[in-house]
Amino acid sequence: MLKKMLILVALLMPVMAVAADKSKKEEPIEHLTDEQIYEQLKKLALVFEVARDNFVEEADEKKMIEAAMNGMLSALDPHSSYLSADDFKEFNDKSHGEFGGLGIQITSDRGAVRVISPIDDTPADKAGIKAGDYITHIDDEQVFDMTLNQAVKKMKGRPGTKVKLTIVSEGKEPKTLTLKRAIIKVDSVKYEVKSLADSGEDAEKIGYIRISDFGATTAKELKEAIEKLEKKDVIGYVLDVRNNPGGYLTAAIEVSDAFLDGGEIVSTRGREKTNIERTYAKEGDLANGKPVVVLINHGSASASEIVAGALQDNGRALVMGSQSFGKGSVQQQKPLGDGTAIHITIARYYTPSGRSIQNEGITPDIEVLQSKVEVLEKKESMYSEASFKNSLKNETSKEKDKKKSDDEDEELTDEEKDALDYQLQRGMDMVIAMSKLQNRKPVSEQNLEENSVNEVESKDVDKKIKKEENKDKENKKSDKK
């Protein structure tokens, strides 16, 4: 029995590609010999048998082995885990754009569950859950004793059913939210023509492209969006990847390539120093060289950071917003042949300039923190002629309706929401400025044009003078005769 258990455990052991951070590599790793590994595996099998035979209740062997494998992988980093057959199927379903749940991307952080970002227009997004929030309880059960997969499973369920989450936001008291589960359909790309708030009818047209995640169809949707926006004569683009938790590496590469005409996009580097793969952009900038501003924030992770870093390092776009999440590691699914798989970190991402994204993120060229625009001057002053006692009334003015309820302010139009989005407004400001700078001719070129015009004009004047002189000479000759 013990020998069989050893064989089973050995088959399930992954090849450990150590992808720990530099901070974890301060002490050198002491590798075990094959004999020592065998002894440790024998001990593991012994622990299994003793626990199974002596536990106070009937033990679930499958649950115990899966927990052991999960613990083994989570010891490497927060993103490596064992996927059961159900987990692996759910992972693949989610990657293809539709899945059930709350619409929230999470990660493990020192035993707690941390929100990377909510997905647009999902129950989590509508409930006001933000990037950086911590989930401490799911249906009143603490998450500290759960694996990440277990936490995900508890939040998923039949559409229409409810789940209760306890959320802790930075600097705020814990709050409990009850969310209704739904089928999460991820529309990767949304786009439209936008203009600056209060800019009037002659406002410059700006192409706004929102990418909420990087799925199998994202690149195709983006190309279609750019083609349609180009037909509307936009002056430039705002590419919004705020609160985008990432997705497929191939999608991030293709999105970057859409705006580039060449240059490196990203490199991935494994454990061995020589194990480097570089990806380059092909010819053809779909945006035709027009200005691009990329908006990022703390919820922009992984594939979002690859796009922002590629466009930033190639000088193709200006990155605005706040520091990104800092997930610069590559995960891959290694199927085990029975429907299960290992989700394991195999490499790190590097931007074209050689910067590692891991734990650092992308630093925006211009930091613009999301702010609330406050009106400093009231529409009406409390001190005016009308404020005096017994002041004469204006007989021609219509009586003002002062019975507006507070609820009317809650339902905002898309234009009003845009006007309140401080980062978006500053991003569009920058696109307009970059477009004007791009279209402005250098002083040297202007001088050359003026000089050439002056030369032509002076030559014309010289010709006229010579003609007049020749006429005078001919007239003098005729007079002498």
Catalytic amino acids? 302, 313, 327
Three-class secondary structure of residue 231 per DSSP:
coil
Contact 129, 104 (CB under 8 A): yes
Q: Give 184's contacts (C-beta < 8 A, 6+ positions apart).
A: 98, 99, 100, 101, 102, 103, 119, 122
The CA distance from 314 to 263, in Å, is 7
Residue 131 near residue 326 (C-beta atoms within 8 A): no
List the beta bridge partners of residue 320. 295, 366
Residue 301 main-chain phi, psi, to 5 deg:
-135, 160
Between vectors from CA 378 to CA 374 and to CA 383, what angle results, nearest 5°?
150
Non-local (6+) Cβ contacts of 292 within 8 A are: 236, 237, 238, 239, 259, 311, 316, 317, 318, 431
* Residue of 344, 341, 316, 345 lying closest to 329 (CA atoms): 345
Half-sphere exposure of 425 (CA within 13 A, CB side): 17
Return the DSSP state at 290.
-
